[in-house]
A and B are shown apart, each in its own frame.
Chain A
Amino acid sequence: MSESNTTKKFMFVNRKPPHGTIYALESLEVVLITAAFDQDVSLVFMDDGVYQLRKGQQTQGIETKNFSSTYRALDGYDIEKLYVEKESLEARGLTEDDLLVDVMVLDRTALGALMNQQDVVLSF
């Protein structure tokens, strides 16, 4: 499906919580399509964006799609670079055990350095 031979480093920075707004869901859509274009994809979860990965989300009561299971499916699309900012996780009283998927936890300095290496950064 790639329309170009160019491979760029795409980073998706997710800073908003799920459900209150559509951004988390849309981010997943773009992530999947970017992977289909054979680009180098990484996802960052920081600030309230870490709540996107929280276990136990049940959306029946608010009558919206529960897309949290999609994070578990990313692996199947070879999307394996999921980074969570350590400080954001700690500020919310969360640990890796509270998250739906395996992630790499980076401190703010390591995360900032990683951002600097990207070609395209999309914020959601």
Chain B
Amino acid sequence: MLHIVNKSPLGHAALDSCMRVGDGGDLLLIEDAVYAATAGTLFEPLMRDALNRFKVYALQPDLEARGVAANLIQGITVVDYGGFVDLVTQNKTCQSWL
């Protein structure tokens, strides 16, 4: 399934919960969750670990809006809104971890 997270992992537990419970699959970071895709944060080791279980994507316009598009953790794939749509169609179900 596609897991969609929209909150920074440094301020909210949503991404943690998604990674704890989610049974692998695709994980898309949008809105404030794109900070989780950036290198150098306290969360980076957890994200690197999650990359073994999830295929992780980050929404490019949200990365750019926040000035962090250049500093991504290796292994994370960048998508635009069209790519977001494709991820939804490719997965039978999606869950927004609000």
Contact = CB atoms under 8 A, between A and B. Distances in A.
A123 B97 contact: yes
Nearest to A118: B93
B21 A111 contact: yes
B23 A15 contact: no
Interface in B79-95: 92-95
Given A47-B13, A115-B1, A116-B1, A121 B20 contact: no
Contacts of B22: 112, 115
- The interface size bin for chain A is 10 to 19
Interface in B11-27: 13-14, 17, 20-23, 25
Interface string B42-70: 00000000000000000000000000000
A118 B1 CA distance: 9
B96 interface: yes
Given A115-B1, A119-B92, A109 B97 contact: no
B92 A15 contact: no
A108 B21 contact: yes
Contacts, number: 43
A80 B14 CA distance: 26
Given A15-B17, A47-B13, A47-B17, A116 B23 contact: yes
A95 B36 CA distance: 33
Contacts of B96: 123
Interface string A92-124: 000000000000000011011101101111011
Interface of A: 13, 15, 46-47, 85, 87, 108-109, 111-113, 115-116, 118-121, 123-124
5 contacts: A46-B17, A115-B23, A116-B25, A119-B93, A124-B98
Given A112-B22, A115-B1, A121-B93, 8 more contacts: A15-B14, A15-B97, A47-B13, A115-B21, A115-B93, A119-B92, A119-B93, A124-B98
